[in-house]
Amino acid sequence: MIPNRAPIPVDKLALAVVHAPDRAIPAPAGAREESLRFLLQTAADSGVTRVATRPDGDGERWLGQSWPFPSPFQVSVRTVPVSDGVDRVEARARRSLERLGLPRGDALLVSSASDLAGTEGRALWDKLLALKDRGLYRRIGFCASVEDGPALLARRFQPDVVQLKCNLLDQRAQRTGVLSELAALDVTVHASSIFADGLLFMNSEALPVEMHRHGPTLSRIRRRLAEARVDPMQATLAYALGLPEVTAVVASVASAAELRAVVAAAHAPTPALDWASMQLEPATATAAGPNPRGLGRISSAA
């Protein structure tokens, strides 16, 4: 009998492979596939057991051709927009498994909470329930941000999983109690957008126009991290991994080298930081109502 081991940070990590040309290194098809196989094998060797996918481009097909054997991964799949029709959503969810080369998936997530809030929300959810009942997906849920009212939607639809945008710079999901509400509903929470669109890794000159007003605050945060001898990646991961309500932290990577950096940062000792001082907007200013200007940006990445 193997004794239970204590959880380690990497147990919470989930991998989202970035295929976008601006992140992935251009390479011939064969080299690209070999690079992806190396990335996935590195993830498996590092103890990462979750992979989050999107139904965009050829990403699912490339993953399906590159899994290590036997594959150790639990794979989550996202739906196409309900504007394509609920029957199309169901068919595409089945097709995603075919492209991924999987007999079943771990989780099927509605890509946008607004699809559930719309007039076809119930019909859409019934399609997901049917796929779960047939054993094609073990769990179902949806992706959301704080503005979507995820706890209200969770009470209405009773999902297994909610993937929620939450990161060091935008801590509203924690500060306003949304994470606690979801946990109280026995919903598994996955945190996404944890690198806040890379804002902590940019200098002030490289910031997008809509983020210029946050430049001084970002500079102050980077200075505090430097004084504490904490790398921005270590800080962003430590915040997300330290949220007790969060079961999985989705990190986007484009190469095995990026993944190794993420895993190393996840294994680093948790820094003694005042997390509340690291957010761009105080919780009192973001507890309700519309998204403060700029925070939509830092919740935009997967």
Q: Which band of pLDDT confidence, cut at 50, 70 and 90, is reported for residue 66?
A: very high
**C-alpha angle 177/294/291, rounded to 5°?**
40
Two tokens at 224?
Answer: 């505090």
Two tokens at 44?
Answer: 């498996």
Whole-angstrom distance, CA of residue 40 vs CA of residue 156:
37
> At residue 40, what is the residue type?
L
Is the model's pLDDT at 299 over the cut of 60? no
Is the model's pLDDT at 290 over the cut of 80? no
DSSP state of 251: E
Domains and CATH numbers, the chain: 9-299 (3.20.20.100)
Instruction: Compute how many other C-beta atoms are within 10 angstroms of the C-beta atom of residue 154.
Output: 24
Report which secondary-structure segment, H or E, holds 16: strand 13-17
Instruction: For 172-202, write each residue's pLDDT tens digit.
Output: 999 999 999 999 999 999 999 999 988 988 8
Q: How far is CA 53 from the centre of its chain?
A: 10
Mean pLDDT (whole number) for 20-42 = 74
- The structure's pTM equals 0.88
Instruction: Please answer whether residues 43 and 80 qualify as being in contact, where contact means their C-beta atoms are separated by less than 8 angstroms.
Output: no
pLDDT of 26: 57
Tokens 């079961």 sit on residue:
247
pLDDT of 203: 81
> At residue 57, what is the residue type?
G
Q: Where are the beta strands (DSSP E) in 80-239?
A: 105-110, 137-144, 161-165, 188-192
Instruction: Compute how many other C-beta atoms are within 10 angstroms of the C-beta atom of residue 229.
Output: 8
DSSP state of 23: T
Is the model's pLDDT at 285 over the cut of 50? no
Q: Which residues contact 227 (CB under 8 A, 6 or more apart)?
A: none
Closest CA to 78 of 102, 65, 95: 95
Two tokens at 294?
Answer: 């700029």
Mean pLDDT (whole number) for 224-245 = 94
Tokens 């290590």 sit on residue:
68
